[in-house]
Amino acid sequence: MARDTLNKRGLAIQQIYRHSLHLGALRHAIICALDLGHHPAALDDNLLFIEIKLKANHSDLPPKRQYEPISGFTLTMAETREMLGITLFS
């Protein structure tokens, strides 16, 4: 049982490492999508959702090239709360 847990943790760490290779590209996507150059305050009240999937030939590619963005959109925190059905009580 301990070996299974270790294997699962190893897989999770490997997946985190793979996705960490894309931090620069994700940072760039956030800056552009939220237009942070013109509206830096947008970072405080907006979320960016990006759908990413493995490329068909991912096993032939280096880890940094295995994924591609499919779609994405931005929401304000109010829109996010509404979408998730979260209400705030004052």
* Mean pLDDT (10-residue bins), the chain, 90 residues: 51 59 80 89 88 90 86 90 74
Residue 40 lies in a domain: yes
Residue 20 lies in a domain: yes
Q: Model-level pTM?
A: 0.59
Quote the pLDDT of residue 38. 92
- For the beta carbon of residue 55, count every other beta carbon within 10 angstroms: 12
Quote the pLDDT of residue 16. 60
Quote the pLDDT of residue 57. 93
Structure tokens at 78: 């109010």
What's the domain range around 41?
2-84
Domain count, the chain: 1
